[in-house]
Amino acid sequence: MRGLPIFAYISVMWILIIIGGGLLVFIIAPISITGYGKLDHILDSGVKAVISISLVVAWIFIMSKIKNWIFQRKVSH
């Protein structure tokens, strides 16, 4: 039972990484912006970058909350 919180934390981290990769490959990668001429590729890349960075920030926030919850619970026991 001593190492269970850290293994749970690492498991959640890997699950988020796999889900994030799936989202990027299947949902975000096919996004295509047209109608702006030569700016199409720049807008595509910009939108995808903003979405990807937002996902990274969300994942870091989620992992921080889970870490605090797991280790505060461990300290209080």
Which pLDDT does position 6 carry in this prediction?
Answer: 79
CA distance 54 to 58: 6
Q: Is residue 1 part of a domain?
A: no
pLDDT tier, 61 (very low <50, low <70, confident <90, very high otherwise): very high
Q: Stretch 25-49: mean pLDDT, rounded?
A: 89
- pTM, two decimal places: 0.73
Quote the domain boundaries for residue 44: 6-76
Q: Is residue 40 part of a domain?
A: yes
Q: Stretch 5-29: mean pLDDT, rounded?
A: 86
- Cβ 25 vs Cβ 56: under 8 Å: no
CA 19 to chain centre: 8
pLDDT at 62 over 90: no
Q: Stretch 65-74: mean pLDDT, rounded?
A: 78
Report CA-CA distances (Å) from 31 to 25, 34, 51, 59: 10, 10, 11, 21
* Total domain count, the chain: 1
Strand (E) or helix (H) holding 29: none
Q: Positive or negative CA dihedral for 18, 20, 23, 29?
A: negative
pLDDT tier, 43 (very low <50, low <70, confident <90, very high otherwise): very high
